[in-house]
A and B are shown apart, each in its own frame.
Chain A
């Protein structure tokens, strides 16, 4: 394959293969921005991959106090999983352990739709009979007495079955330093896209995996074709000038939001150029037969 080039950065004629997921969105508020972010960060911790964490989650965006239901600073959190049941149990566990416990927090639905997941409807029992139900119009809230006052929580939030998980970019640079710089700039650009999150640490994953392994107990193992130290030993996918590879994985509430995030990331990498950043960008797929969503890099170029 002859690579396309943009601003000196080689772009593979490849595509990211993504999968359908169940997704939901909530807004967490607190007396100030710091504690809203803290609750959201705690709730989205240990949520990098459904394989080991049960859910993939991230902070979508911050909301100013003028744009939250209770007039306090807020943070929008997206949570994804493979089935409705897992998503529901992950949501309630994370809500109960990470948001309910966080000082001054409150939690609201941030996704519409007829299909609902329980929030306060499950957490209310913590109130041990002292919980208070409040309805206004079509909206239903629970107030649970806690030691710093009250935990206010909307009864349910929306569920989408049209979420997409596994959009990705493979960022390849000459050195670890330049590759990381390109990945960081891409993450910063992609975080601005609403409706999509990057679930890995700081948005970046350094240990991409392939399906299967030589060991029977391992269902996935290191992606040797992209390991620079194995370039001479395996059927490698990386060129002579590549010394390091980082991946960004994207989960979105819609197919469009994933495409939009990939587009923003690509633009940031291309703008940086090969000297300071990445020399080549690729995307991970399984030949196109496993996942129904294909994001072709050539369609997303700036």
Chain B
């Protein structure tokens, strides 16, 4: 069945809140009703019909022509699919619990913020606080799968609780800061102090990082767990599977917090 297609008539004059445009809220709405949905974030009223040319289709599959001014795309999405052809603003897929979002451009900060399930793929780069909570919230991502083909900004996976994040490019400083649990994999280089104040959870880095002294060397290992995750991740990221198939150094920490977390990076068995 054909997708519902939203094509930009022109670059929006103000930032827009696209959170109403998710499959479970559109339900049985007609194109006319969809066109009447208000998306403005200022006092100037703007409806979906003002911004987008709307082509009718199955609301379970929505295609949006992207712009850096489109915030909150796929917010609290429960099922279905959203494809963004282009860039996104902030908080793409925030709080989503199911379905699939693919963004073909770059994203702003807080992409996948506090997502609880489903799959989010970003083909380009993303801003700071990937998967992280908003200010004052206790938990970041709590489930699902988040993959960034490009690079991520600072503090990717902040307060990650559950689920898996893969960053195929570079990650800025403090990746996996305050992690509660979950898995964060960075295939490009990483910034300084990964896992800062992490309690539990797993960070896997392709390059030996600049670690805080509160991470303790546990030696190099070939763990069945790494082989298992290599197999589970292979359909999504062959590079992640390759990294996890190698012998990995294990550092435990952050001993300044609970200290039950771990950071892995390639190492040589039997060496120190």
A contact set with B: CB distance below 8 Å: 29, 69-72, 104, 106, 130, 132-137, 139, 141, 143, 149-150, 152
Contacts and interface: CB of A to CB of B under 8 A. Distances in A.
B231 A141 contact: no
B230 A71 contact: yes
Contacts of A137: 145, 232
A139 B183 CA distance: 14
A130 B262 CA distance: 12
Contact of A149 (B145, B164, B223): B223
Nearest to A129: B260
A152 B224 contact: yes
B47 to A, nearest CB: 38
A69 B162 CA distance: 21
Contacts of B138: none
A106 B224 contact: yes
Given A69-B231, A135-B163, A143-B225, 9 more contacts: A69-B228, A70-B227, A104-B224, A133-B181, A136-B229, A141-B225, A149-B222, A149-B223, A152-B225
B72 interface: no
Interface in B251-269: 260, 262
Given A70-B224, A150-B223, A150-B224, A132 B200 contact: yes
A106 B229 CA distance: 13
B183 A72 contact: no
Interface of B: 143, 145, 162-164, 181, 183, 200, 202, 221-225, 227-232, 245, 260, 262
9 tightest Cβ-Cβ pairs between the two chains A and B: A70-B227, A106-B224, A152-B224, A70-B228, A71-B227, A70-B224, A136-B232, A152-B225, A150-B223
Contacts of A134: 183, 202, 225, 229
A152 B163 contact: no
B162 A135 contact: yes
Nearest to B119: A137
Contacts of B223: 143, 149-150, 152
B181 A152 contact: no
A157 to B, nearest CB: 15
Nearest to A106: B224
9 contacts: A70-B231, A72-B224, A132-B260, A136-B183, A137-B145, A143-B223, A150-B221, A150-B223, A150-B225
Given A149-B223, A152-B223, A71 B181 contact: no
Nearest to B143: A135
Contacts of B231: 69-71
Contacts of B227: 70-72
Nearest to B223: A150
A130 to B, nearest CB: 8
A141 B228 contact: yes
Contacts of A106: 224, 228
Nearest to A107: B224
A133 B224 CA distance: 14
Contacts of B260: 130, 132
A242 B200 CA distance: 68
A134 B182 CA distance: 7
Contacts of A136: 164, 183, 229, 232
Contacts of A132: 200, 202, 260, 262
Contacts of B221: 149-150
Contacts of A71: 227-228, 230-231, 245
Contacts of B200: 132
Contacts of A149: 221-224
Contacts of B229: 134, 136
Given A69-B231, A71-B231, A135-B163, A29 B224 contact: yes
B56 to A, nearest CB: 33
Nearest to A68: B231
Contacts of A152: 223-225, 228
A71 B232 CA distance: 10
A150 B227 CA distance: 12
A150 B231 CA distance: 18
A29 B224 CA distance: 9
Contacts of B232: 69, 136-137, 139
A129 B8 CA distance: 54
A136 to B, nearest CB: 5
Nearest to A108: B228
B215 to A, nearest CB: 16
Nearest to B221: A149
B246 to A, nearest CB: 13
A292 B163 CA distance: 46
A163 to B, nearest CB: 27
Contacts of A29: 224
A133 B201 CA distance: 9
A22 B164 CA distance: 35
A168 to B, nearest CB: 38
A72 B231 CA distance: 11
Most buried by A among B163, B200, B224: B224
A29 B231 CA distance: 14
A95 to B, nearest CB: 15
A143 B227 CA distance: 13
Most buried by A among B162, B227, B231: B227
A101 B62 CA distance: 52
